[in-house]
Amino acid sequence: MTAVRRLAFALVVAASAAACGGGSAAAPDGGPGGSGGAGGSAGSGGTAAPGGTGGSTGAAGTGGGVAPSCPGSKPTAANTGVPAGVALTVVNGDVMVSQDGTTIDAQDIHGFLIIAASNVRVTRSIVRGRATTSNAGVIRINSGTNILIEDVEIAVAAPSATVDGMWGDNFTGRRINIHGGVDGLKAGPNTTLECSYLHDQMHFDVDPNQGGGPTHNDAIQILEGTGIHIVGNQLVAAMSDNAAIQITQDFGAVGDVHLESNWADGGGCTFNISHNGAASLTDVHAIGNRFGRNSFFDCPILKSTKTTLDSSGNVWDDDGTTVPIQTHD
């Protein structure tokens, strides 16, 4: 995520999609399967950020069971994040990754993980962040391509109105357990998230990104980008949250978005898909998702009037019947 986009989180309070069931929606708040390895390789070191200790080479993980097939199994805390039996090395302070080809494995990072390199692998680790008054993601991909985040837990240690779980472009995330941020993930271009569990976003009554109003929490928020695949995840928002997935075009064009085979629940509307920021929105596909009944407006899917949505096979999880789709601004 570029520096310009990060700055925009602090400066932009854009209008967003219509709220499910009527009224104006919450404004944006900014912005294939594998196995858990036994005895994996040690993580190569990150560079220390100011005031923190760098990511020294982590000890190799020991043990660890085989992860379930992905996609297919419903993601939970039991089958996402660090596999059982992996010994973690504690790293105190932010970790800055600037060298292409870096591997971080089996680390417990008490700070932010900031990536500005390509061909990076982060596996079998916990990233916790730290206290800050700035807009931040506990994992932030500032630049780079071909980045893998796998079997990782993002556990926000110091929740605040300015901290999300993850910001990222050009990465694949697999079996990630994300909790404790305002948003779970701000997903940008060329992003694949699969078989992950996003839940327990943190609400605050005062959010500087919302003009001092309350936070508008989403499990996933998409503000720009193409080539975005959200597949086989469990996305849980509280009924008081904004959405499990919120899509607008506030920062740029959106397209080639695939929301497939997810379990999703909560929010005002669970999927809230809006052309806001442009004249129209097309090339968005919601296929084979299963919805809970805990959205505030009894609204599993909302699309705006200028959104063309390719939708099929979306059902209530409890009885398999087709869910309704609301269309309004």
Query: Position of tokens 């009037």?
Result: 305
**Helix H or strand E encompassing 10:** helix 3-11
Query: Tokens for 272?
Result: 């809230």
Condensed to tens digits (0 to 9), the pLDDT of residues 28-77 reads 333 333 333 333 333 334 444 433 334 433 333 333 344 445 667 899 99
- Predicted local confidence at residue 94, as pLDDT: 98
pLDDT in tens, 104-145: 999 999 999 999 999 999 999 999 999 999 999 999 999 999
Distance of alpha carbon 248 from alpha carbon 276, whole angstroms: 5
- pLDDT above 90 covers a percentage of the chain that reads 76
DSSP assignment of 203-240:
P-S--GGGTTS----EEEEE-SEEEEEEES-EEE--TT
CB 33 within 8 A of CB 174: yes
- Rounded Cα distance between 81 and 123, Å, is 9
Q: What does the pLDDT look like over 254-305, one tens digit per residue? A: 999 999 999 999 999 999 999 999 999 999 999 999 999 999 999 999 999 9
Give the integer Cα–Cα distance in Å for 51 and 223: 32
Residues 6+ apart with CB under 8 A from 7: none
Check if the beta carbon of residue 214 is closer than 8 Å to that of residue 207.
Answer: yes
Q: Are 306 and 277 in contact (CB under 8 A)?
A: no
| CA proximity to 206, closest of 194, 216, 196 | 216
CA 93 – CA 133 distance, rounded (Å)? 16
CA 247 to CA 313: how far, in whole Å?
Answer: 20
Strand partners, 150: 123, 174
Q: What pLDDT shows up at residue 320?
A: 98
Q: Using the predicted structure, report yes or no on whether residue 233 has a pLDDT greater than 80.
A: yes
- Residue 319's identity, in one-letter code, is D
Q: What is the pLDDT of residue 71?
A: 66
Per-residue pLDDT tens over the stretch 174-198: 999 999 999 999 999 999 999 999 9
Dihedral angle, C-alpha 201, 203, 207, 211, nearest 10 °? 100
